[in-house]
Each structure stands twice: as C-alpha cells, then as structure tokens.
Amino acid sequence: MSTLALKDLNKIPIRLASGHRLCAGCSESIIARQILMGTDKDVAVSCATGCFEVSTTIFPYTSWKTPYIHTAFGNGAATCAGVETAYKSLKRQGKITEDIKFVAFAGDGATYDIGLQALSGAMERGHNMLFVCLNNEAYMNTGIQRSSATGMGASTTTSWGGNASSGKKEFPKDITMIMAAHEIPYVAQAAPHAWRDMIQKSQKAFNVNGPSFINAIAPCPRGWRFASDETIAISRLATETCVWPLYEVENGTFSLSPESQRIADGKVEKKPITDWIDSQGRFKHLKNDRWEPVVERMQEEVDRKWNKLLKLCKL
C-alpha cells in the first residue's frame, strides 16, 4: 500500500473487533486499529501482558481476528522476533509463500521498564518487525503505579501527590530517542487524535526492511483522571503543549510531523504546561502554590526538549 485514500483503508479487513472490555474512553483500541490500517498484508500480533491484552483476550473470548500470541510483561519483543525468525526460515524452505507482517503491542511498563532488554535486543538484531508502545504513562492494569514513562508531577498509587509530595519526582525516560539511538530504519512518536499521521507512520514502519518502533501516547481516563469523552482532546493537547511532539526518524533523519511543524513555524500557538496540568486530575495537587517550582521545572523541561528536537530536525 502506497496511498492513504479512504477507499483503500476501507478495503483493509477489521483485525481488532469491537466487544472488548477496555475502559470507556480508552485510547488503546483506537491506536491499535489505526496501526493495523498501515498494511494490507497478513499480520501476526504479539501482545505483552497489560491493559490491552487482558481486555481483548478474556478466555474463552477474543477480539483479535489475526494470529495472536500473549506474552509475559518482559518478552513481547523477543516473542515477536522469534516468530519473525521462524517465518523467514519457513519461507526460505518454501513452506510459506505469503507475505506476513509482524507487530508487537506493549504498554509503557512492558516497553520502558520490564521489556526494555528484549526490545533493545530485537532492534539491535534487525528483526523485520514493528514494535508499538501504547504509552498511558503508568502501570494501569495493576493499579496505576508509576513507571519510567510517567510524567514528572503526576500522582499515582506509588508516587502520591498532595500537600506533602509533588507526585513523581523524575522526568520520564525518553524511549523514543533511545530507540533512535539504535539506528534502526524507522522510529516515530504518534498520537491517536492525529489519525492520518498515525496511519502514515504505520505504513512506513511496516514497509521498511528491518525493525521499526512507534511510541503512541495513550490517554487513560481512569489513571489520568479526565472524563471518558475527552480522550481525543487530551491527545491533541499533549501535542499542542509540546509535551508530546509528533515526529519521525527515517534512517537517522529527524523531521516534525505536520501538526508539530505548524507549531515550529509559529502558525499554531504552543500552549503552556499549565493547560496540560489543568486538564487532568492526576496533576490537581500542583495547583497548590507550594508546587509552583515544580510546574516551572516541568515547563523548562518541555521547552528544553522541544528546542533540542527542533535542532535535530534542523529547524
């Protein structure tokens, strides 16, 4: 597939059926559907333990219309890499003739933390697979515990926010840049509100010869504390504040995606971090005047990373 015409998208089979048990307003199924529109080839899916897995494969039911493997938290990438390797062997032997694509879905816990070793290994070995991080910025499935993807200042069940604590003390790990440092063919950040951008990035990721990685922000009404009908608005706000800029790295070349490019060009206002804080209950304690220095540090870090990204994109 080389175009993004709606008539082409309509021809792609539905690979994730409705009837799953994700929370109302959860963005993970939205992201997965967009990603799976990136190819018209057959697809095999590996899915690490987490919200997405437990909600789409509750025995004896499944929402998946593809070959699907449930893996543990830490080995989603390794499992997908193993299946891809077996496929290549069988194809060389003439036992398989179909063109099959491979994708692994995992939450931030199974990407940033527990699964990082397997992910790094699969990328370094050059497996022809796409790894997608459904990044809701905490271990939501097990009780909203902080992960290394959790934003500074966020209140979770293991980084409480209130009068005595400002929430998570550390800035999130930049796994997108870590993957770019692996010098794999394709790396991108995406968001579900920018559906055309997400699908185009998925197309590129599936079409490269080698490993690819997409980090998709996945707003979580339950863990982030916002109304379930605001998911797409929260996703858009993440990009407008540059908390989550949209960009891609193709064979080492950085470029902003159209929505973030408009911010860089000054055609769209870059919104302040306070808009992001005001939109979610996990940050409500930061409205206390005593945590103003924390808010200032958050803004400084967003600005620093945004300016760094602009330089990488040669802007």
Distance of CA 63 to the CA centre of its chain: 20
**pLDDT (mean) for 51-69:** 94
pLDDT interval class at 189 (50, 70, 90): very high
Neighbours of 305 (CB within 10 A): 16
Question: Which amino acid is present at 157?
Answer: T
Over residues 230-261, the pLDDT tens digits come to 999 999 999 999 999 999 999 999 999 999 99
pLDDT interval class at 9 (50, 70, 90): confident
pLDDT interval class at 36 (50, 70, 90): very high
Domain range 6-312, CATH architecture = 3-Layer(aba) Sandwich (3.40)
Stated as kind and residue range, the H or E segment containing 188 is strand 186-190
Residue 19: the pLDDT is 86
Over residues 124-152, the pLDDT tens digits come to 999 999 999 999 999 999 999 999 999 99
The residue length of the chain stands at: 315
